[in-house]
Amino acid sequence: MNKNLTYKAFGERTILIEWPALIDKNILAEILKLKDGIVQLKGDQIQDFIVGYNSLSIIFNEFIEDFTKQISEIQLIDSKIINPSISKLKIWNIPVCYDEEFGIDLEELSIKLQLSKDEIISLHSQSIYTVFFIGFLPGFMYLGGLNQKLHISRKENPRLKVPKGSVGIGGSQTGVYPSESAGGWNLIGRSPVSFFNVNLAKPCFAQAGDKIQFLPISKDEFYDINKKVKSNTYILSSKRVYD
């Protein structure tokens, strides 16, 4: 059992579990392991989970009458987990057009990072990223694994409108805006893929623990995929992380 956890009542139906305040794949693995164990043994009592960088919120169907008892049961689950289920985790191939029409900050980044635009694109698309959690906007995936050469502060003056599908870099992270919104990340490309569809049983295709790899495409390919996405004929490529 992990002794570095803190447990808190968070409202009448929620228990918040917190790990050390770090962005770390090992911590994410522990969060997903505990979540999986709770699903296996208490799944019928749970309405939802919220995964954060270093936290897990467990939302129960009904009011928690005895938080101490419920926390003790979760700690017992944590101590007994040996082989969590990881077969559902996937790596998703996300097409991105890095053309300067979409990557409107590439020129500025090239100067600040002292890298050519092609080097920025290559470094960004060669990495395999981990989905730590989904938040900020519905379908916005917080991704870890950005090459250190691409780490750069967010823009001093955020844009009021960032187009849907824009791929950006902010600090040590990269991500894709699932809908038009304000934002201060440096934009390097755009994906034609839909990252959130409220009409689907699973609105966001990815989950915490999944992997993401960006695949460079041309403008023609971007518009072709965009048409297929709009007509619901595009199938996003993925495979299991663990076979």
Neighbours of 78 (CB within 10 A): 18
Q: Specify the fold of 6-80.
A: Gyrase A; domain 2 (3.30.1360)
Is 80 exceeded by the pLDDT of residue 242?
no
Residues whose CB falls within 8 Å of the CB of residue 159, separated by 6 or more in sequence, listed in order: 182, 183, 184
Q: What is the pLDDT of residue 44?
A: 87
Give how far Cα 135 sits from Cα of 50, 148, 175, Å.
9, 23, 11
CATH 3.30.1360.40 placement within the chain: 6-80
Q: What is the pLDDT of residue 243?
A: 44
Residues whose CB falls within 8 Å of the CB of residue 219, separated by 6 or more in sequence, listed in order: 97, 99, 101
Mean pLDDT (whole number) for 96-114: 96
CATH 2.40.100.10 placement within the chain: 90-240
Q: What is the pLDDT of residue 1?
A: 54
Identity of residue 47: Q
Is 70 exceeded by the pLDDT of residue 82?
no
Is 70 exceeded by the pLDDT of residue 194?
yes
Q: What is the pLDDT of residue 42?
A: 83
* Class (C level, CATH) for 90-240: mainly beta
